[in-house]
Amino acid sequence: MMIRGVKVNKNDLVANVASNSGLSKSDAAKAVDAVFDSITSSLKGGTEVRLVGFGTFNVTQRRASEGRNPRTGEKIQIPASNQPKFRAGKSLKDAVN
């Protein structure tokens, strides 16, 4: 089964996992949540998550910078932060092209 539509939300993903795996929607929701939680906790711990053929999740550091408030034009300091990143793997890129 393929997910079609303009946007896919978590409920659509859970329904698709349930359909493709034979799991109940409840069990599929637990599985999807477990995958998301595992990726999140790995990234929080500084570990890269590499799913061969699908892609790589990692965290990059963004330096502090100076910006402007678009309403007032006032200068503001933007603090340094960690940003989650995803790099698609070759198989995923090939599948969508």
> In terms of domains, do 89 and 78 share one?
yes
> In terms of domains, do 5 and 34 share one?
yes
User: 31 with 24: CB under 8 angstroms?
Assistant: no
> In terms of domains, do 25 and 8 share one?
yes
Count of domains observed in the chain: 2
- Looking at residue 61, what is its pLDDT? 96
CA distance 31 to 16: 12
pTM: 0.80
HSE, side-chain direction, 13 A CA sphere, residue 53: 2
Please determine, for residue 1, whether its predicted confidence score (pLDDT) is greater than 70. Answer: no
Range of the domain at 27: 1-45
Q: Which helix (H) or strand (E) holds 64?
A: none
Please determine, for residue 3, whether its predicted confidence score (pLDDT) is greater than 90. Answer: no
> In terms of domains, do 35 and 57 share one?
no
DSSP state of 85: E
- Looking at residue 2, what is its pLDDT? 64
